[in-house]
Each structure stands twice: as C-alpha cells, then as structure tokens.
C-alpha cells in the first residue's frame, strides 16, 4: 500500500463548483476546469495515495482535457501555485479516464519514480513504480521566480522499512479525457490563494475552502 509520509485526516468533503472556462495552452491542449474539492479519503477507487499529517490536505481538481493535435498529453507541467505563501506544488496523484466508454472505463495514470530504488541485492523492487529516465519529469522545466517547489515523497514500504521517492507521470495516450489532478497542500502561515498552471501558462483560479 502506498502512502505519503505526511499525515492528515478529513471528515467532511467540501466541493466548489465553478463556472467552467476553457483555455488552450501550448497552442494545442484545451483544458476546462469542472470541479474543485477536498479529496475523499475513503471509498474512492481512483485514489492510490493516502495523505496523512497535521495541517496537510489533499485536494482534487477535475477538468476536461483535449489534445487538439491528437498527440499524447504530458501532465507533468501541471502545478498548483499558492501566490501568497509563494510555493508551487507538484502533482501528488493523477488519473485520466473516459467518462463514457463501452464496457469497463479506461483509466490512465502510470506513476514513475523520480529516484531509482534498489533493494539490498541491488535490484529494483517488484512492488513499486518503474524508474524510467527516458521519460522526462517536465515539472522541473518550469521555474517561478521567488517560489519554492514542493514535491511530496511517497513511501512505498512501511513505517519500519520505508521505500521513498517522489513521483511523476507517463504521458496520457488518450487525446480527450476527464482528468482528476490531486495536490497535497501544506498549512502555512498565511491564508493561501491558489492558481492552476500548465507550464508557464495560467489555467485558472482555484477557489476552495480548506477548513
């Protein structure tokens, strides 16, 4: 079982519905934000990462994404900026899926390790995501002056025997899909104001009550 090394619990799910606005980034990818809410911690089959920790909350941003040129979609440029506390959050989890399909819905969101993890024999662990340097983590390609990047570390082991790495995602091969993007938000000194970005391009303001 995977879990973030920080800990938190949520008893109430809060949802913010917004007036959907469609933006196009990179002259190719169309993004329409549909919903923003605190992520449920139970009975949510699309989530694998459990976030636990005092003052840490997990939020979900649901959007519709379309690749106009029909190419695969790199989701790693997505980031959530707290413009007050000057921090930039990397995705902690991402799921892309078809809202309607014949038979079982199609889900994509292959995790990749940022750090190569080897067991005591010097071999890759069997129960963790792949380490594939051929697929670049493009979150690192973008910098915002004065902002601190925050990447959550995932523990793929146990508290006693931790196996820890940050993660990013393989490209989504569907060219039109629903996206659930998850971020783990830290409690900081000032009341946050959030903006969702794709690379250096702003997607929209994110209004959510974290209390």
Which range has highest mean pLDDT (14-23, 44-53, 102-111, 170-179)?
A: 170-179
Strand (E) positions, the chain? 3-7, 15-17, 22-25, 29-38, 50-52, 56-67, 78-82, 87-90, 93-97, 107-108, 111-113, 148-150, 154-155, 164-165, 167-169, 176-186, 194-198, 201-206
Tokens of 9: 């619990």
Residue 92: count of CB within 10 angstroms of its CB: 26
Q: Helix, strand, or coil here: 55? A: coil
Residue 127 pLDDT > 50: yes
Angle at 185 between CA 179 and CA 191, to 5 degrees: 120
Tell me how far apart the alpha carbons of residues 137 and 134 are, in angstroms, rounded to a whole number: 10
- Could you tell me what percent of the chain has a pLDDT over 70? 81
State the pLDDT at residue 55: 73
Tell me how far apart the alpha carbons of residues 137 and 97 are, in angstroms, rounded to a whole number: 21
Residue 6 pLDDT > 90: no
Yes or no: say if 81 and 59 are a contact pair by the CB < 8 Å rule: no
- Quick one: average pLDDT of 96-118? 82
pTM of the model: 0.85
State the pLDDT at residue 20: 59
Strand partners, 64: 32, 178
Burial environment of residue 34 by CB neighbours within 10 A (0 to 12, 13 to 18, 19 or more) = middle
Residue 124 pLDDT > 50: yes
Please write the tens of the pLDDT for every residue from 29-83. Answer: 999 999 999 886 543 445 566 666 667 889 999 999 999 999 999 999 999 999 9
Report domain extents, the chain.
Answer: 3-206
């Amino acid at each position: 079982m995977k879990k973030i090394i920080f800990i938190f619990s949520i008893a109430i799910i809060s949802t913010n519905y917004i007036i959907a606005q469609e933006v196009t980034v990179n002259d190719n990818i169309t993004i329409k934000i549909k919903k923003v809410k605190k992520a449920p911690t139970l009975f949510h089959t699309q989530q694998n990462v459990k976030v636990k920790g005092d003052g840490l909350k997990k939020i979900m941003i649901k959007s519709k994404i379309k690749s106009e040129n029909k190419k695969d979609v790199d989701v790693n440029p997505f980031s959530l900026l707290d413009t007050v506390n000057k921090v930039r959050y990397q995705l902690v989890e991402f799921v892309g899926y078809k809202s309607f399909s014949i038979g079982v819905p199609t889900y994509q969101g292959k995790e990749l390790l940022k750090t190569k993890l080897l067991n005591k024999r010097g071999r890759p662990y069997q129960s963790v995501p792949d380490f594939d340097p051929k697929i670049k983590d493009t979150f690192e390609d973008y910098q915002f002056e004065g902002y601190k990047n925050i990447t959550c570390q995932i523990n793929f082991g146990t508290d006693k025997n931790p196996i820890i790495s940050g993660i990013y995602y393989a490209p989504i091969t569907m060219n039109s899909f629903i996206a659930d993007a998850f971020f783990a938000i830290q409690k900081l000194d000032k009341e946050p104001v959030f903006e969702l970005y794709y690379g250096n391009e702003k997607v929209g303001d994110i209004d959510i009550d974290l209390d």
